[in-house]
Amino acid sequence: MKSESGRYHLEQNELIEALREWFQSPLGEQVSETQNAILEQLLPGYFGYHLLQMSIQSGVLYESSPIRHKFKLDIHPADSAYCAASPAALPFANDSVDVVLMHHLLEYSNNPQQLLREVSRVSLPMGHVVIVGFNPHSLWGLCKPLGRLRKHPLWSGNFIRPGRVMDWLNLLNFKIDRAQYCTYGLPVVGYSGQKADYSNGLSRNANLPFGAVYVIVARKQVGTLTPIKPVWKTQTSFGRLAAVRPLAGRNASPRTIRVIPPESKN
């Protein structure tokens, strides 16, 4: 179906199904292998008690993480019912998750900033968020108008540039640790050669900000507490009476006050 602006859209469940089918295609598998190679190098460096995965895909992306309690959020009715909820309203307490892995959710969300606010809410202080998304400043971004004409579900989303995602994270009190880019070829199977070994490819050696896929890692900062000193009252217990300032010098005599009676009427 089309919206008022003419963009091609699918219903949420239909879009998720179509994207999952694309990730199982030869080109989708090629992109997934490259993304998984990056995650296999990143995730072992982040520790904690809980890791949450929110992804368009139904597969597990956190196998290389050393965290013991790892689970994924089910966003499709066909998924298992271990933890099913909307990514925009997470059923978790504040400051409860150590690592949040967001995989191609922002570009297919109607309100990506709300998703990031929820991630910020549930993330522990000094916890990490790993965001995987499509980069509009790439060859894939240039091919997006053609993909929309063909009504391909991959191009129905709103590719968000990495700089904007970083700005949103900074506003939510996150510090950017790194930004990794990959997939520099055209959206054609085998255009850039074999990419199964990420460590030997252009993505690893150059990391130019023009890759079709970016991986942003950010850490939630802890707000500093500014101590507030108590303001003690300087007034004396005698109300408005003020102390008389002494005269200068040791031999000075105390100040005398002469009371002049009022004049008589006579």
What pLDDT, in 10s, does the model give residues 249-263?
555 555 544 555 555
Lowest mean pLDDT among 88-92, 208-212, 242-246: 242-246
Q: Which whole number is the average pLDDT over 90-94? A: 94
Name which of 12, 6, 31 is nearest 145 in CA terms: 6
Q: In whole angstroms, give the CA distance from residue 192 to residue 210.
A: 14
pLDDT at 7: 39
152 domain-assigned? yes
215 domain-assigned? yes
Q: How many domains does the structure of the chain reveal?
A: 1
Burial (Cβ within 10 Å: 0-12, 13-18, ≥19) of residue 173? middle
Measured between alpha carbons, how far apart are the two ends of the chain, in Å?
Answer: 108
- Bridge pairing between strands 97-103 and 174-182: unpaired
Joined tokens for residue 221: 């900062």
If you count DSSP H runs as helices and E runs as strands, how many of each does the chain have, helices first?
7, 6
- 38 — alpha (psi -120 to 50), left (phi > 0) or beta? alpha
The predicted model scores a pTM of 0.78
Q: For helices 26-42 and 12-23, what crossing angle results, to 10°?
A: 90
Q: Which whole number is the average pLDDT over 115-137? A: 97
Assess whether pLDDT exceeds 80 at residue 194. no
Q: Which domain holds residue 200?
A: 12-220
192 domain-assigned? yes
Instruction: Check if the beta carbon of residue 127 is closer than 8 Å to that of residue 175.
Output: no
262 domain-assigned? no
Burial (Cβ within 10 Å: 0-12, 13-18, ≥19) of residue 174? buried
More confident residue, 106 or 152: 106
71 domain-assigned? yes
251 domain-assigned? no
16 domain-assigned? yes
Name which of 71, 140, 120 is nearest 112 in CA terms: 120
261 domain-assigned? no
CATH number of the domain residue 188 falls in: 3.40.50.150
